[in-house]
Structure formats: structure tokens, C-alpha cells
Amino acid sequence: MMCAVLYDAANSFIHQHFVEVSMSEEFLALPLEDVLELVSRDELNVKSEEQVFEAALAWVRYDREQRGPYLPELLSNIRLPLCRPQFLSDRVQQDDLVRCCHKCRDLVDEAKDYHLMPERRPHLPAFRTRPRCCTSIAGLISWGPQLIANFYAGDSLNVVEVFDPIANHWERCRPMTTARSRVGVAVVNGLLYAIGGYDGQLRLSTVEAYNPETDTWTRVGSMNSKRRYSGSHVQPEHTH
């Protein structure tokens, strides 16, 4: 029983701190099976898929002669379509290991098609276009006493709480600049966006973004229409 608890705790730590772990000698010494399992996990806490690519490439380059043939299998488990187009063109496509591998080039072309030809997206493997469910913002967000999954009812508040699942602890962070309820939310590039909502009297078109690194909310461009009870859909670097 205790071994299972320790195993789960170790996995949770690795998922939460993947970027730091990927820079360690221990990560570079992992066998292929463990690296494949890691880079395919939905729970990885990364700001962007580009960090997963860099980690996988560093692992291959650690023993290039022996690990080079594994690169196509690794890239097929990384969600390249979720990388920025310029990163695909300037970093991934230009890497010498990728350039000399036909299967790798095919995966890069698939990722570029995701951006250039949206009509082909339904034909791509679903897991390669699915955002990872853990982001750089720790845990869940709460407006007042209600969790994000159940914030549509109740009073309009600007109170925000962050839940740390590792410490099993809630704490308040910087309040929003505007009291809201029935608000849409989305996470893009490590920022949490509060979109529209209701301030207790009027529907809102205003949008503000929370940066967890600086604990600040910043007003960004407002929507053209006032909305509450809105749903949000995130694509790479955009929200709808």
C-alpha cells in the first residue's frame, strides 16, 4: 500500500515539474519506454508543447547514435500540431535530426497542415491535437465559494482562489479587476482569461487575463458583444 502511494506521489511530482525534471541527468538516462510514457501523458504541466519537443530532442541527443532511430516514435507521441507555426518552421523543421528522417518530416508536415488547412483537422489523430489537461496554472480556479465547474450561479464576485493539488491547499490570489459571475474561462499560453460574464447588473464584454507568475490581472481587448453563460474553445494561441 505504501509503495503504491509513493509511486503515485513520484508520478505526480514528475508530471507537475516535467520541465525541470527533463533537464536532469536522471531524465536523460531513462530508457525509451519511460520517455515515451512520459511525453504521451495528458497530465504534463507544460506551458506549451514546444517544451515537450525540446525535452525529447535533448534525450535523443544525449546518445545520438543509439537513440536517433527512436526520434520518429517520440515525435509521434508529441502533439506537434499544438506548437506555434513559427516554431515548427524555424525550430522543428530546421533540426538536422528531423531533416534527415522521412517519418519525422511527415509528422512536421501534418502539424503544419493543421494550421494551414483547418478542414483537415478532423482527419488527424485525436490525441495529437488534444491539449494537455494540466497547465502552468496550478489546479483549479474558484470565484468566491464555488469551483470553476460550478460558477455559473450565485453572486458576482472578483475573489479568486487557486488550488494546489500537491499541497491539497486553497489560497487567495489577486482579485479580478471586475466582479463577475456566469463568466467564460480559457487558458492560452499560460494565461487564464476571464471572458465576459455578469457584474450583478449588466452583461459584460470585458476580458481580463491572469498571469500566475506575477499574480496580476490585466485588461485586454473587449469582445464586440456582451456575453454571459458563454463557452470557450481553445486552439493554439487563440480562444473562441
Question: One digit per residue, pLDDT tens: the chain, 240 residues?
Answer: 556 666 677 777 888 889 999 999 999 999 999 999 999 998 888 888 999 999 999 999 999 999 999 999 999 999 999 999 999 999 999 999 999 999 999 999 999 999 999 888 888 888 888 888 654 444 444 433 333 433 444 567 788 877 665 456 677 888 888 888 878 888 877 788 888 888 888 888 899 998 887 888 999 988 888 877 666 555 555 555
Query: Cell 515539474 sits at which residue?
Result: 17
CB 143 within 8 A of CB 163: no
Domain ranges of the chain: 2-129, 141-239
CB 192 within 8 A of CB 209: yes
Q: What residue type is assigned to position 161 of the chain?
A: E
Q: Record the pTM.
A: 0.58
Q: Which CATH architecture has domain 2-129?
A: Alpha Horseshoe (1.25)
CA–CA gap between residue 191 and residue 28 (Å, rounded) = 30
The beta strands (E) that lie in the chain are given as 141-143, 146-147, 160-164, 169-172, 184-188, 191-198, 203-211, 216-220, 234-235, 238-239
Cα dist. 86→38, 80, 149, 152, 219 in Å? 25, 12, 34, 38, 27
Coil, strand or helix: which one is 99?
Answer: helix
